[in-house]
Amino acid sequence: MLKSKARITAIGSYVPEKKLTNDELEKLVETSDEWIIQRTGIKERRIAGEKEYTSDMSFKAIQNLIERYPISIEDVDLIISCTLTPDFKTPSVASMIQAKLGLKNCGAIDLNAACAGFTYGLHVANGLITSDLHKKILVVGAETLSKITDYKDRTTCILFGDGAGAVLVEYDADHPSFISAHLGSEGEGGKHLFCSNLSNHMFEQEITSTSKIVQNGREVYKWAVTTVPKGVENVLSKAAIPLNEVDWFVPHSANLRMIESICERSGLPLEKTLYSLVDYGNTSSATIPLSLDKAVLENRLKMGDLVLLYGFGGGLAHAGLLIKWTI
């Protein structure tokens, strides 16, 4: 792996004002606060307004970033929007963000790796900057999952929420953030977590065509708790860094029970794990930046900390990154 020349220099986040609590879900489906917490650890989630979409939340997360850090985004030369819930099929969310920010000479692309989207986005940004193709990239993880959630399905509607997180990645050969990475995908498992669009066939297998999220939670759980620990080992092996030197583990906030199992199998202490699901639910590509920013605002995440990020989910795609926190 080439020595990185990319540094994370700022972070921001945004969640909608509206909350959907477990007690409120009891009125929609057969469930209870006790049942949801016992199985997922989620207490509430945020829900976007009727006319609030992924590009709107992304813009607000970037505004939050600008307000908090002494940086300029006028010379940003690429926006990478990581999402599975774009406002439109086209134009891209990234193009809409570019327009809202009024940036000139700025490229714009959407990246869909579902719940692994943000880690994939960071990996791509690191590669583009390290290769000297770009100097300043905004990476945004944002979702309006509430708009594709079936609130009659008690197994999925308790999980998902909306939110956005953004980071600025800049050229810095002397103090880079990125140390090692491991990416993978098991596409044959895509049938266990999907949201249909044009096709109702997956590898010659007919599936129920729906515009809502469909998930086989048991199969996704089994896949995650076996795949992620192996990926964690791979990331650390590439960096030649022992597990006990990792300051923080930041997995995708899918389900607290899943995180507990991954930590146990990986040998990572739960007390050194950052997650955002308790207050925000599963926000797919937004969970990791929301977890990071929550730790920054709570003064837990400090400059120089070694942080292991691991995104996993729809695809079934996964991506782990070991970074040094450089903000």
| Annotated active-site residue in 123, 157, 282, 318 | 282
Query: Burial letters for 72-84: b for 16+ Cβ neighbours within 10 Å, e otherwise?
Result: ebeebbbbbbbbb
Examine the residue annotation and report whether 115 is marked as an active-site residue of this protein. yes
Directed axis angle between helix 54-68 and helix 93-101, to 10°? 50
Which amino acid type is present at position 159? L
Angle at 17 (CA atoms; ends 14, 22), nearest 5 degrees: 110
Examine the residue annotation and report whether 282 is marked as an active-site residue of this protein. yes
CA distance 201 to 33: 36
CB count in 10 Å sphere of residue 104: 9
Task: Give 203: exposed, middle or buried? Use CB within 10 Å, 0-12, 13-18, 19+.
Answer: exposed
| Annotated active-site residue in 64, 82, 106, 115 | 115
| SS3 (DSSP) at 255 | coil
Examine the residue annotation and report whether 106 is marked as an active-site residue of this protein. no
CA distance 191 to 219: 10
| Annotated active-site residue in 64, 252, 255, 318 | 252
Angle at 300 (CA atoms; ends 295, 301), nearest 5 degrees: 70
- Which residue blocks in the chain are alpha helix, DSSP H? 22-25, 33-40, 54-68, 93-101, 117-130, 217-239, 256-266, 277-280, 287-297
Name the residues annotated as catalytic. 115, 252, 282
